Each structure stands twice: as structure tokens, then as C-alpha cells.
Structure 1
Amino acid sequence: MFKQLNHEQLQVYQSIIHSVNNKTGGIFFVYGSGGCGKTYLWGTIISKLLSQRKIVFPVASSGIAATLMPGGRTAHSRFKIPIIIDEDSSCNISHKSDISQLLKKTELIIWDEAPMQHRFAFEALDRTLCDIIKSISQDRHEKTFGGITVLLGGDFRQILPVINRAPRSEVVSASINRSRLWDESQLYLLTENMRVNKGNSEKQKEIARRFNQWVLDIGNGKIPSCTEDGDVFDDVDIEIPEEFCIKSDNFSVEEIINSTYPELLSNYKDEVYMRGRAILTPTNEIVHEVNAVILEKLPGKVHSYLSIDSAEELGESEQEFNT
């Protein structure tokens, strides 16, 4: 994994390993869009430190992101962060708990998708760690996060903290870069998108690079608005370039499927072919419609596996339990 790091990833890797080995602590923020290799970088750092028998806490703001890291958990689950939180909150971790004893020996905390978390959550963890570390070291007690190296990552162009019915200014003020901790952070940028170079031809790679740049320009606010009033925050239209559109007089779900999965019947058993493609939709209703059309194309019988949201009572005897 180390040998495949690019120059930007290697710079972050060396800074984190140096901070952990020298016990200097500090906050590091890795800012990069999707596909720039943040998750791969987390895995490389975690593997290195675990091989040295060091303790690492990999967490994420969302459950999906947490599953992508070895031993990952959501930050709220791992650090007992209150659901209802304010500027004076602290984590529900007692000094005598197992998690407290583990935190005293922790060398690194990796927190993915940090921009979508309220800044009060980071400040609560900082307050809690300083209190826990105070019992073993007065010097570390005065450092940010109790002297533990903290590596944050994410993309501010994606989801910011969700606050019900809040105006834009309130959402921005809740972000991590408005926290007192941000001034102490070291910022690293990942700009090389690792996914856009996986096309089968130079033409496909070039299209992927242009699409990637267009998406970044949207996030950076560089795409001009098509609305009559460009200052309207909640209703801004942009023009999609023709090269990224399916041009057809009879536009349908079939067109989307054929464009995304060409020669589906010849390749549907190919894992590489299936992994490299996806149809994203804004609603579950469209998901079901697209899935139904694709399933009708595939040979064989369709099997539906249904889940339930209630638990059955266990039998009183071992025989009933086994059945």
C-alpha cells in the first residue's frame, strides 16, 4: 500500500507517522474530493501503526464511511458524543470506563467525513480527552485533544452539518472550519483524482477528467447560473454540457441503462465490469424502477429477500431456540 501512494498522499503519511512516533500531537486536515484516495490513505496509515502495535481509533461521521476503514465506527458510537449538543457539552466517557483506559494509550484518531459533523462534536471530544489525559500527564492535558494526533478528512463541497430549518449562515457557522480548533490545524490538499485514469482508452479518460473538473467547478461555485436571479440560494439552475448528456429523442430508462451498461447480457457476470458502473438517482422510487427494468433483462429466476424491522422472541427452551 505504501508503494502506491502518490506524492500528495505520501506527504500526509510522513507527517502523521512523524507526529505519532515523536508524540507531538496536533490536528491535521486532509481536504480532497471523492476519488482522491483519502480512504486508501487512511488504510495505509492504520496498517502501518497497527504493525507497530500502536492503538488507532478510526471513526467517521456516517456509518457508510465508517465501514470503509479497518475497525471503523461512527464517531458518536465510539466517543459517546451526545445527540443533542451545545458549546459546553462533553462526551459521556467516565474515567473508570474501558474506553477511557484505551484512549490514554491511543496514538492516533482518524475522523473521516469531518465537514458534515457539527463543530461542537469536535470541541466536546477535545474537552473530554483533555480531562481524561489530565490523570496521567499534566503537560499533555494542556494540548489540543490531550496531545493525541488527530487526522480529519473530507470535502467541504459535499454535505455540511444538517441543521433543521437553518439559514445558510447558521450551517456555515456550525462547520469545523469555524471552530477554535481550526486555527491549530495543518491543512493538506489531495488534488489528483485516482479514478479518472481508469478508462479503457485515452478518450474515455479525457472525458472522465473533464467531467471530474466540471463537478469540482460546481462545488466551487464557478459554474454560472441559468436562473433569472442568480442570488437565489435554494433555486439555482445550471447548464449541463451536451457531452455529459444522453442525446435521444425517445429518452427513457432504457437509454440510461444502455448507456451505463453497454452489452449488459455479455458482461453481467464480470465483477470488474459491474463494479466500475453505477446509476445514481435522487429518489428510491426511481431506484426501484431502474432495478426492475435491469432484472427483466437478465436470464434466470428473480429471488426477493425481504427484511423486517422487528425481532422475534426467543424460545424458552434450547430446542425452541434452535428451531
Structure 2
Amino acid sequence: MGLIVLPVASSGIVSTLMPGGRTAHSRFKIPIVIDDCSSCAIGHDSDIASLIKHTNLIIWDEAPMQHRFSFECLDRSLRDIMKAVDKTRYNMPFGGIIVVIGGDFRQILPVIPHGSRGDVVSSTITRSYLWPKAKILFLNRNMRLNQGNSEEEILALKKFAEWVLQIGNGQVKAPIDSFEHYKNDEVLIPSDFCDPEMKNSVENMIHWTYPNFFSNYKCPRYISERAILTPTNQVVGHLNSLIVETIQGAESRYFSIDKAEDFGGSTEEMSFAFPPEYLNAINILELPVHELKLKEGVAVMLMRNLNQTLGLCNGTRILITRCLNQCVECEVITDAFVGTRHFIPRMELTPTDTKFPFKLIRKQMPLQICYSMTINKSQGQSLQRVGLFLPNPVFTHGQQYVAISRVTSHTGLKVFIEGHNGSSTNVTKNFVYKEIFYQLPTT
């Protein structure tokens, strides 16, 4: 039709799946630290403002994982920009531009550090002043699951899709029998996906998720199609270290340079209070580790949006092809940029929000090993084989649903659950904040 459309997404990895896609923060200059009075850093005479004035449609994917302040921030800015086109558009949502917001409220909601259940629910777009003005449409076909070739396979896929939705809606309950009484938030995983008789060992899980690993660990397609998912970063680090140790070849170690700034005291007090050894020992989710151990052929994931036009986004999975002195050469193994090679150097990284009384700056390559990843990090990705490892249960809304819905086939999921006494079990917790669905009409 010759109209202008701006496709954006809440995460970098999802934006690469959209033609011309960008993250919402990058496209609309939304502040990283945001509140209920924030506005986008778009000047009236800027190029992006001129583009917005001629835009007919904005598509925003993975919207439920974004804080409602981001949508309200964009709304205020678009009203201010579009009033130059027509004064009446200042009183219209998003300045009169149609905004299609896509997403699944069964998935993980905005992450609120140390926030309560009420804090998480109140941060979603359904609690925004914009929500009553929205028209809600439903998609009823699961596009992630492969279509079966036989009637039996189609029936199995349909059954799996229904079970996944029931997990997301909090409708699956563990049976109560004469031997055990399960709590209300516990679910029974079917034997097709979780065998309690199978020894719940890390070795079994790695072998199932990565069969014939030594013959295929340098194959981009083999690595990109599978991953081990688990709730916490501590377990992710342990599993990744075990897998990397089995890879043959020389190990290269890259150490970060850490420093502290914006401290209220003097330089001498800062050096005494925050020695390099202390700064090196700090591990924050937003930063790579101080000591990064890499080998040629190791799969890693980017932790920062470097260049979205080249597919180098937060969450992009890449293979190390060469370990150099000051950087590494990598090959992209996912999405539309498969096979492209890039050099990743050290760069200064700073966490956006910490409780430290100083600003931590870490100069390190924004990489982390990704044979295993957290459930939150996997959101937006599609995999053919997922080993879900639960030494501890999930701890927030949508994690269980996201983990089991990453696979493209019912045969690609295996769940390894550790019971209270260390033995294998097929019962685990599933947190669903059902109040998030109260303002959604039922289909």
C-alpha cells in the first residue's frame, strides 16, 4: 500500500525476527531508567520526528514483558509530535497513530527487582490508562509447533499445545491420592516429558539435550536448535562450565578491567574502600564475568545490543571461531544473519540500576556461554530440543510456560526435576498470576 510501518520489539532477539525491526528503546529513544513522567528523547526537528509524522502504523511485539511506563512514555511523546500535524491529535492515544501491540500474557511479565506479586502485576500494560482504549484480538493457532505429517502426529501436537496453554493459564493440577498431597501451585508433568524413574543427573540431561556433542559442537545448526533451560544464573554458570571443560583445545582467558566512579568520597577513600579485587568479585546479571574462559568452537551469547542492522543483539547466539589477544572472532548461528562473522572486542559496560553507592564500570567482552541459559533469557527464541533442568522450582509468573513452549515439537522437550531429597520426581511448582487475566476478555 506504500504506507510507512515501524516494527519494534521489547527485546533485541525478537526485533531481529521482524523485517526492519528495532528495539522499542532504540527506535523511540525511550529512557532506560523510566518513571510515570518520562518522555522520549526525540526533538521536534529530528529525523525520527519527521519519520513519525508520516508513519501510519507501529507494531510492538513482546509487549507484556515491557513496563507500562514505556508505553505511556511513547504515548506522551507521540501526542506532542503529532500535534504539529493536527492539533486535535494531541488528545488521541499515541497521537492518532495506530499501534498494534502483540504478546502473550502467559509469558514472563516485567522484571521488578525485589518486587512483590502486586508490583509485577501493576507494572503491566493492562494497568495503564491506555488499556481501556485498546481493541483486543486473539490468535488461536500455535505457529511455533511444527505441523504433523500423520493423523497420529497431528493429534499428539494438538494435545501438547492444549497442555502448554493449560500450564500458562494455571489450569493443570497435580493429583491428590492416598500417598501424597500436593500444594495448589504444584503440577504433575506427564511421563512423556518427565520420567521419574530416570536418574536426575546433570550428565543424563546434557547427553539428552546435546547427543553426539563432540561430533557436532562446531555445527551452527546443531547448537542453535537446542539449549538447557533453568531458572537461575548460578545453575546456568555451573552447567556451562561443565560443558566447556569437555571441549578439546586451548583455553583463552580474558580478564576484565573494573573501576568505580561517582563516589561521594575522595579518590584515596575510593581506592581504599573499593580495591580491584573487590570490584572483580562482583557478579551482576547485566555484566559479563570478570574472568571469561573461552575456546574455539564454544557457543556464546551477546549480552548487549551492538548493531541491530547486523543482527548483533542482546540474546544473539554466536560461535567462537578464533580467540585473539584483545578480541574474539565469532560467527552468528541464529536468525537471518547466520554465517556472518564479526570481531567482538572488550568494551565498557555499566549496570543500569544497582544498590551500590558508586558507579561500576567493567571493560569486558559482552559475552556469556550459552549451552545453558535462564528461562527469562530464552523468551522470544524457538528451539527444536529443550532440556528443562529444575534443581529448584520456577519462582515467578510465566517461567514454566515459557520454558515448555520454546520447543517446535512435543518430542523436543524433556524435564529433569529434583525433589526435596535429591531424587527424581515429576512434580514441580508453576506460578501463574491469574489476576493478570482479569482485564482480558475470554475467547
Q: TM-score range by the shorter chain?
A: 0.5 to 0.7
Give the 5 Å matches for 1:224-263. 224=173, 230=183, 236-246=185-195, 249-250=198-199, 252=201, 255-256=204-205
Root mean square deviation of aligned Cα:
3.4
Q: Which has the higher helix share?
A: 1
Cα contact 1:260–1:278 (8 A) shared by 2: yes
Name the residue aligned to 1:76. Answer: 25
Q: CA deviation at 1:311?
A: 5.1
**Deviation per residue, 1:91-129 (Å, 9 max, x gap):** 111111111111101111110010011111111111111
User: For residues 131 and 85 of structure 1, do their structure 2 counterparts lie closer, same or farther at Cα, with a shift above 3 Å needed?
Assistant: same
Can you give the 5+ residue segments of structure 2 that lack an aligned partner in the other structure?
231-235, 249-294, 299-319, 329-343, 349-443
Give the 5 Å matches for 1:105-116. 105-116=54-65
User: For residues 257 and 286 of structure 1, do their structure 2 counterparts lie closer, same or farther at Cα, with a shift above 3 Å needed?
Assistant: closer
**Deviation per residue, 1:163-185 (Å, 9 max, x gap):** 11111112111110111111111
What is the aligned counterpart of 2:346 among 305, 310, 314? Answer: 310
Can you give the 5+ residue segments of structure 1 that lack an aligned partner in the other structure?
1-51, 313-323
Q: CA deviation at 1:130?
A: 0.7
Name the residue aligned to 2:427. Answer: none
Q: Residues of 2 paired with 1:228 and 1:261: CA distance?
A: 35
Q: Residues of 1 paired with 2:155 and 2:77: CA distance?
A: 48
What is the aligned counterpart of 2:131 among 182, 187, 195? Answer: 182
TM-score, length-normalised on structure 2?
0.49
User: For residues 266 and 92 of structure 1, do their structure 2 counterparts lie closer, same or farther at Cα, with a shift above 3 Å needed?
Assistant: closer
Partner SS, residue 242 of structure 1: coil
Q: Residues of 2 paired with 1:229 and 1:126: CA distance?
A: 46
Name the residue aligned to 1:121. Answer: 70
Partner SS, residue 192 of structure 2: helix
TM-score, length-normalised on structure 1?
0.66
Give the 5 Å matches for 1:157-236. 157-199=106-148, 201-224=150-173, 230=183, 236=185
Q: CA deviation at 1:253?
A: 5.3
Name the residue aligned to 1:30. Answer: none
User: For residues 197 and 77 of structure 1, do their structure 2 counterparts lie closer, same or farther at Cα, with a shift above 3 Å needed?
Assistant: closer
Partner SS, residue 281 of structure 1: strand
Cα contact 1:197–1:205 (8 A) shared by 2: no
Q: Residues of 2 paired with 1:167 and 1:138: CA distance?
A: 41
Q: Residues of 2 paired with 1:186 and 1:109: CA distance?
A: 15
What amino acid does structure 2 have at the position aligned with 1:280?
I
Cα contact 1:82–1:92 (8 A) shared by 2: yes
Partner SS, residue 58 of structure 2: strand
Q: Residues of 2 paired with 1:200 and 1:248: CA distance?
A: 31
Q: Residues of 1 paired with 2:84 and 2:187: CA distance?
A: 56
Indicate yes or no: 2:20 matched with 1:67.
Answer: no
Q: CA deviation at 1:206?
A: 3.2
When structure 1 is superposed on structure 2, of 136-145 and 190-199 the one drifting more is: 190-199
Cα contact 2:217–2:223 (8 A) shared by 1: no
Name the residue aligned to 1:286. Answer: 239
Name the residue aligned to 1:99. Answer: 48
Name the residue aligned to 1:152. Answer: 101
What amino acid does structure 2 have at the position aligned with 1:279?
A
Cα contact 2:68–2:127 (8 A) shared by 1: yes
User: For residues 146 and 310 of structure 1, do their structure 2 counterparts lie closer, same or farther at Cα, with a shift above 3 Å needed?
Assistant: same
Q: Residues of 2 paired with 1:93 and 1:127: CA distance?
A: 11
Name the residue aligned to 1:26. Answer: none
Q: Which has the higher strand share?
A: 2
When structure 1 is superposed on structure 2, of 195-204 and 258-267 the one drifting more is: 258-267
User: For residues 216 and 141 of structure 1, do their structure 2 counterparts lie closer, same or farther at Cα, with a shift above 3 Å needed?
Assistant: same
Q: Residues of 2 paired with 1:157 and 1:57: CA distance?
A: 26
User: For residues 196 and 206 of structure 1, do their structure 2 counterparts lie closer, same or farther at Cα, with a shift above 3 Å needed?
Assistant: farther
Name the residue aligned to 2:87. Answer: 138
**Deviation per residue, 1:265-285 (Å, 9 max, x gap):** 99999998x599523321243
- Count of aligned pairs between the two proteins: 251
Cα contact 2:218–2:297 (8 A) shared by 1: no
When structure 1 is superposed on structure 2, of 194-203 and 105-114 the one drifting more is: 194-203
Cα contact 1:127–1:145 (8 A) shared by 2: yes
User: For residues 267 and 246 of structure 1, do their structure 2 counterparts lie closer, same or farther at Cα, with a shift above 3 Å needed?
Assistant: farther
**Deviation per residue, 1:182-230 (Å, 9 max, x gap):** 1111111111113434345444443333222222111101122579684
Stretches (4+) displaced over 6 A: 226-229, 261-272
Cα contact 2:209–2:228 (8 A) shared by 1: no
When structure 1 is superposed on structure 2, of 281-290 and 172-181 the one drifting more is: 281-290
Cα contact 2:7–2:20 (8 A) shared by 1: yes
Q: Residues of 1 paired with 2:68 and 2:135: CA distance?
A: 17
User: For residues 249 and 174 of structure 1, do their structure 2 counterparts lie closer, same or farther at Cα, with a shift above 3 Å needed?
Assistant: closer
